[in-house]
Amino acid sequence: MKLLKLVPDDTNIKFLKLRVPFYIVSVLLIIASWALVFTQGLNYGVDFAGGLEVRATFEQTQEAPIPDVRNKVGALGYGDATVQRFGEDNQVSIRVRLPEEAADNKETAQAIANEIVGTLKADYPDFRLDGNDNVSGKVSGEFREDAVLALVAAMLAVALYIWIRFEWQFGVGALFALFHDVSLTLGMFALFQLEFSLQIIAAILAIIGYSLNDTIVVYDRIRENLKKFRKMPLPELLDLSVNETLARTVMTSLTLLVALVPLLAFGPESLFGLVAAITLGIFVGTYSSVYMAAPLLIWLGVDSNSFVPKETEADKQEAAARKLTEG
């Protein structure tokens, strides 16, 4: 049987030749992402913004009467309601920000939810309530803090481990690659105003995990080659390492994509945001391992001696010890 080879043997793409332009583009993208996050803001779901979300299905209709629902809910006087398609064409999510004093008042939030459901049920007999979320401002604030704290703590700890296992330059490189991935994902969410919820945090975590995997595989090969080819110039060595792991990179990404695409196409709507973010993350994560994590090593001054001093020191001591016992 002839086996499939996605990457031909002896592939030698000069990835690093374009490192400066790619770096400029990436840094610009990172800046643009943060600018978007700060100017446009993220479209926080009720998890992070607090408020009330009602999800419902119009069972007898093909398409939910979104503009009408928006008007009706808006007319109740709780500010502009965010009414979006949610899942099928006949499913909607209705989000209302709670008035200040309602945030900590259990009855008010409930009364508003009941009022919305009641109003819509009266006008649309086929209105079916699928669920509702109701998060007070206090809890949503804690969710935000928790999520940021958890992300930052995890990223720093990971960088520290890589520093210890490899060299400090590798730790910095990995941290930067992760920062790149997180920034671009956030930028994407700000640009398209996709709902940003706790589930998306889980997706970002998965992206970080995947990107990290990628970065470490490449770094591991770089470390190996640094020991093997002591005289090779670093850009060339990085290219070699990336090319050597290219077959693996392509194969792994492809495998994950073929698993994820059906989930995007046929999976439950509730998973869509999550899966879309992870799919996007596979591209971003792969790119960052090759174009962010690796070239940074050049500028941070990794060279063939990076992994040597410790070993020669140990060797020396061992040799000295051997001499002593022999002598």
Element (H, E) at 24: helix 19-39
DSSP calls for 195-233 = EE-HHHHHHHHHHHHHHHHHHHHHHHHHHHHHHH-TTS-
Q: Out of 208, 290, 296, 302, which residue is the one contacting another protein (CB under 8 A)?
A: 208
The yes or no reply on residue 32 touching another protein (CB under 8 A) is no
Q: Out of 1, 100, 323, 324, which residue is the one contacting another protein (CB under 8 A)?
A: 1
Q: Out of 66, 206, 232, 276, which residue is the one contacting another protein (CB under 8 A)?
A: 206
Segment near another protein (CB under 8 A); pick from 72-80, 160-168, 227-235, 286-294 = 160-168
Nearest to 155 by CA among 221, 218, 204, 214: 204
Q: Out of 162, 172, 175, 240, which residue is the one contacting another protein (CB under 8 A)?
A: 162
Nearest to 41 by CA among 187, 143, 147, 149: 187
Report in angstroms the alpha-carbon separations of 324 from 105, 317, 318, 321, 327: 79, 10, 10, 5, 5
Say how far apart CA 300 and CA 224 lie, in whole Å: 18
- Per-residue contact track with another protein, 298 to 327, x per CB under 8 A? ------------------------------
Residues 282/257, Cβ–Cβ less than 8 Å: yes
Site for another protein in 122-151 (CB under 8 A): 128-136, 138-139, 142-143, 146-147, 149-150
Tell me the closest approach of the beta carbon of residue 244 to another protein, in angstroms.
Answer: 7
Q: Out of 255, 305, 312, 317, which residue is the one contacting another protein (CB under 8 A)?
A: 255
The yes or no reply on residue 60 touching another protein (CB under 8 A) is no
Nearest 5°: the CA angle 261, 181, 306 is 120
Tell me the closest approach of the beta carbon of residue 318 to another protein, in angstroms.
Answer: 22
Tell me the closest approach of the beta carbon of residue 33 to another protein, in angstroms.
Answer: 21
Tell me the closest approach of the beta carbon of residue 137 to another protein, in angstroms.
Answer: 9
DSSP calls for 74-128 = HTTTSS--EEEE-SSTTEEEEEEPPPGGGTT-HHHHHHHHHHHHHHHHHH-TTEE
Site for another protein in 270-289 (CB under 8 A): 270-271, 274-275, 278
The yes or no reply on residue 78 touching another protein (CB under 8 A) is no
Tell me the closest approach of the beta carbon of residue 187 to another protein, in angstroms.
Answer: 20
- Cβ nearer to another protein, comparing 32 with 188: 188
